[in-house]
Structure 1
Amino acid sequence: MSDLFEAAGLGPKPRSPEAPAAAPADDAARPLADRLRPQRLEDVVGQDHIVAADSPLGRMIKAHRLSSLILWGPPGTGKTTIARLLAAAAGYDFEQISAIFSGVADLKKVFEAARQRRRMGRRTLLFVDEIHRFNRAQQDGFLPFVEDGTVVLVGATTENPSFELNAALLSRAQVLVLNRLEAPALEQLLARAEALTGKALPLQAEARAALIEMADGDGRYLLNLAEELLTMEAPAPLDIEGLTEVVQRRAPLYDKAQEGHYNLISALHKSMRGSDVDAALYWYARMLAGGEGPLYIARRLVRFAVEDIGIADPQALVVANAAKEAYDFLGSPEGELAIANAVIYLATAPKSNAAYKAYGAASRAARETGSLMPPKHILNAPTKLMKELGYSAGYAYDHDAPDEFSGQDYFPEAMERQAFYNPKGKGFEQEIRRRIDYWAELRRKRKDGA
């Protein structure tokens, strides 16, 4: 056991940078995640791209001058810890507030205290957790204190700053993206927990890997699970089944109203467009696991059928609509299988956006040409006056023409003929391409009098 302590820097050997210093004995009641907070930036796991010596934060510390930051990343990736260590390394006073529990009065007190420190030659780093929870007006309230140097603002958010923070605030802060913690980083945390407590997790190798998977990239959640396991008396190391009886799997990170929602539906849509049926099924399952409504996904499949498949497979829209109807009829969980069938069909169908592009081009032409009248020869003439004005004069009934094709021009007389639809020759559009080329040749012959 002494080797275990020494590996974490808890014995007589110098502390390894792989583990933080031991907490005093009277701190034993504190949560394990808190006791294991790193004491140096370089001890933060999984975020070398922003905490290493040659990283943005490393360069700030070397220059002894901090700039305002937005730390954007999933829960449990070290945002609060990084802010604390940054302030300590640069010699700034650290103030922390939460946008969930703080109001205008709290902010005024913080800014006044920062002013007082500034008069004494001290700098203040103000850490705002969940900064996206402040409304636009509250966010604007930070600007003058950031601009005049009263505080260096470090905001933490789990939401995309582009959508949740004011442009004015973003222009004054550098956005640093924190990574979801991968398995090697989470394994480091487990090793530190074992070193600090002097106990090994009562898990078989497969169960240890399953525990890491359960955390879903959240270091704090992993340490909470580890603390629960380290305090139990297990007669033998637990297998995966035993582990799941003791702890609960973390719910997937997914907010149906926020960025996770849009990221996953984008992944599903693009996987189907790329004809990657396995990836499409994975993202579909991920959305369901996160609590997404199946009917929302079904609507997106209908949209995909008309945008990305179109006439290349006319059955695609039928299948997508049928999946929606099947879900309405069956409900959950059987209805989800109908939607999965549609995902498979759409992902493996021939793709064409020719109809989508044709409609867009026709819409632009309609806006540009305004109120041009149809040519008179294709207008009905139910009255004598309309006949006298030339309505329907010269109309050729296609069924009476050779090949049942008159070749007449149906565009407005003041508008040159346009070609909006250009089928790509995939799937059923191969046949449509053949027909269009055939009619184009007939039209040319009619025009030339052949």
Structure 2
Amino acid sequence: MEDPSGSGGWRFAQCFGDKGDVEDITEADIISTVEFDATGNYLATGDKGGRVVLFERNEAKKGCEYKFYTEFQSHEPEFDYLKSLEIEEKINKIKWCKRQNSAHFLLSTNDKTIKLWKVFEKSLRVVSESNHFDGQHPIAAPSSLSHLRLPRMTQQDNIIAAVPRKVYSNAHAYHIHSISVNSDQETYISADDLRINLWNLNTSDQSFNIVDIKPVNMEELTEVITATEFHPTQCNLFMYSSSKSNIKLADMRDSALCDRHAKCFEEEEDPTTRSFFSEIISSISDVKFSHDGRYILSRDYLSLKIWDINMESRPIKTIPIHDHLRGKLCDLYENDCIFDKFECIWGGDDKHVLTGSYHNYFRIYDTDTLNDVVLQADKSAFKAKKIGGPLPGVKPAMKNGPRPGGLRDAMQLETLDFNKKILHASWHPRENTIAIAATNNLFLYSAA
């Protein structure tokens, strides 16, 4: 049956954050990463102000809705006196560790320092009676030894505490852009532009350099590492993408230094379409393994690609995201938007993929049919929900007459706001619920 709204059954569920206009937003409030945990019951966001905010599933509600759980300051601004460099507090990535007990553990990183946080519930106890007080009431001091009483403690409140259990620092000369926890839950990797380091979660003062692409002479530098991720089930495999439009799969059983990759996924460029911008727009901004580890999803500036792990020569699917921007590359280069790093994510069932675009549009594709749904994380979504109206762009008729293409046509209009962009998102591991970071707001959408 044709979906008349074009929304693919997706509906706006919730929005967290300040609903003010983009112009009033303070830089520190802009969300820089979002991540569901392995159960989907918890959701974390990090922002440019160095804060981590956790949300917990609200069991009182029927749908998949969340409520505020806790917030803590993960990173502070620092200054590197040797290099005269300011180190931002911005959270670049958050990764959850699988839950072993009642506490949560998660890794968060800024440009230089990774921290392992333990988040747990703690009961506050207070002295309820002593030799001078009975509860809040003062009493006369005991007159003899036999009247002496041991102070009694009672539980007053439950609080959620966050403490840094490990701080992993001074291992990267360049800015850390990726971290990935291994399936063995004992190790993780962190990557900057030229190196990938392997850490043991329990050892903060030592890491092993497993990829190093730094040339002896920096003038000969031709590529940088852009993203990295461990294989979801095989703890010896990881991949990393580069600005040269390739993805390398490495096997840690081969050698201690994985500069010699096991596989390289790369598509030959068509020389007839080459332009000044080719190298910039072909740089891969994000890579993700499917949950079963069989496929790789990669995102470059204009497209999504799905690779079969057994076929290196070309992707099995190439999905154009915003082809209408090809004619605007000069303008996008001028305003630096051409360097925006869009993330890509798999749905929990590996049958759908999601990535963002400008003007707060994002697209969900069916990996078999490549049918897509275009949605917009916009203030009008929760305004419409309040007054019981339809979702933005979902109604078939607009003021100017019918618009059957809905948001797909609107995406291609000249009036795109390049300050509004969906760079970060996360998909619930077991349900069709997605979390979208739109500037300083967190949007949640659900589908049946």
Question: What's the TM-score bracket when you normalise by the shorter of the two chains?
Answer: under 0.3
Higher relative contact order (CA 8 A, sep 6+): 2
TM-score normalised over the length of structure 2: 0.21
Greater fraction of residues in strand: 2
TM-score normalised over the length of structure 1: 0.21
Query: Which protein has the larger Cα radius of gyration, Structure 1 or Structure 2?
Result: 1
